[in-house]
Chains A and B, each alone.
Chain A
Amino acid sequence: MKFLDEFQNKEIARGLLERIRELCDGKVTLMEVCGTHTMALFKFGIRSLLPSQLNVVAGPGCPVCVTPQSAIDKAIRLSDKATIVTYGDMYKVPGSYSSLEKEKAKGKDIRIVYSPLDALAIAERSPDKEVVFLGIGFETTAPASASTIISTRENGIKNFSLLCVHRLIPPAMKALSNGELNIDGYLCPGHVSTIIGEKPYSAIAQRFNIPCVIAGFEALDILEGIYLLLKQINEGKSYVENGYRRVVRPEGNKLALEVMEKVFEIADSEWRGLGWIEKSGLVLKGEFNDFDAEKKFDIKIAKPRPRPGCICGEILKGLKIPSECKNFGSKCTPDEPLGPCMVSSEGTCAAYYKYARESLKK
């Protein structure tokens, strides 16, 4: 069983869409908080098949998009004295004045990897160079950084450090839940949930009476998620439901959570476009100062300069859609982005540009 094709079955999809249409008898706003969901909703054509009263809004689910500008500015500043290693998604994202891609073109040593372990391997191969890994991502990715830092310490590697900008999804959901947008249900991120389990969403479901359904990323997973949310809304219920049981255990991944707990502590953190959110980010614990790029290096940057004309903040909160931005597709394109949402592979604006640009022109 390949666990992929079976979840693209057209017959089942058609049936689920029927159920969704039956359940949708008024205006409903659902929010997804995962860039992969944003893209999948377009990619599988689900958006165009949903009833018009059902609005699925993209929230701050693109980790690249919410990484503060200052992180990119710091990484660029560090590239003067260290090899900067990053996930590919960050490469083209504009900082205040430049991007990692542009700095690389100037000759700085900036490399793209698939895994933080690859970044550590670069450090091992060049012991005379400092190597800094830009640790972005939500709870799906934070354990990988944590495990890599533990390996760094265990193997006595001295020239590797982490510029940590990991963020946590439930606090952002909490911040949005009593905000300007009336959210009737949350489609919860399947792979973040693989790590954190079901419990972190309970507080949101109970406190704000918003149903939370954990969903995977294949077509049937997303349709199931939407169906289960509509069912709860119709029944006036709001609890956490797991639609992705094949990889999400109620308790999450205990070992991954332990590894994170060993290395990180939770702090109030800045989200690009959303501002400061309480207890929403991870920082390295004091005992790991030697591997914390913020502590190891003296990084002084100018005050981050927001990009004029970029409305990423409102897009990330689900208050506007890309077509409502006057620069969408004109001054802001994937090649010349004004902000992260257009250039990130999971950015909302990038998704609309890729899949919905033509229909928006009409």
Chain B
Amino acid sequence: MCLAIPVEIIELKDNGMAVAEAGGIRRKVSVQLLEDVKKGDYVLLHAGFAIQKIDEKQAKETLRLLREVASI
């Protein structure tokens, strides 16, 4: 149930909805639970709602830290 997938926001529509894409599949999603969502943002999609933006810088930083811990 915690299944949430990263999707890219392709288009913003009105009424708090947007079009998102992942793996070539497009879906209408609600962005009513986020502020300032822009085209090109990657968000976490859960039960039809974008619940958080994915922070690419943080993702890269986490990977860098993990490499360090793993001594690679």
Contacts and interface: CB of A to CB of B under 8 A. Distances in A.
Interface residues of A, number: 59
8 contacts: A12-B72, A15-B72, A62-B1, A138-B1, A143-B33, A192-B2, A195-B51, A246-B56
A34 interface: yes
Interface stretch (A201-209, A253-261, A284-292, A295-303): A253-261
A153 interface: no
Interface in B55-72: 55-56, 58-63, 66-67, 69-72
A15 B1 contact: no
Contacts of B46: 140-141, 144, 191
Interface of B: 1-4, 6, 30, 32-35, 42, 44, 46-49, 51-56, 58-63, 66-67, 69-72
B33 A140 contact: no
A255 B33 contact: yes
Given A15-B70, A224-B66, A253-B52, 18 more contacts: A3-B6, A3-B42, A3-B54, A3-B56, A12-B63, A35-B1, A36-B3, A62-B1, A114-B48, A144-B48, A190-B2, A194-B52, A245-B61, A246-B54, A246-B55, A247-B52, A249-B52, A255-B33
Interface string A256-291: 100100000000000000000000000000000000
Nearest to A37: B2
A49 interface: no
A105 interface: no
Contacts of B2: 34-36, 138, 140, 189-192, 217, 346
A72 to B, nearest CB: 16
A73 B27 CA distance: 33
A12 B51 contact: no
Contact of B66 (A2, A195, A220, A345): A220
Interface stretch (A115-123, A172-180, A308-316): A115-123
Interface of A: 1-4, 6-7, 9, 11-16, 18-19, 34-36, 62-64, 87, 89, 114-118, 136-138, 140-141, 143-144, 147, 151, 189-192, 194-195, 217, 220, 224, 227, 243, 245-249, 253, 255-256, 259, 345-346
Contacts of B30: 115, 117, 144, 147
B49 A147 contact: yes
A146 B54 CA distance: 23
- Interface of A, secondary structure class, is helix
Contact of B33 (A136, A217, A256): A256
Contacts of B49: 115, 117, 143-144, 147
Given A117-B48, A147-B33, A12 B67 contact: yes
Contact of B47 (A9, A14, A64, A114): A114
Given A15-B70, A19-B70, A246-B62, A116 B47 contact: yes
A137 B58 contact: no
B33 A12 contact: no
Contacts of B53: 247
A109 B60 CA distance: 47
Nearest to B35: A255
Nearest to A12: B70
Contacts of B60: 1
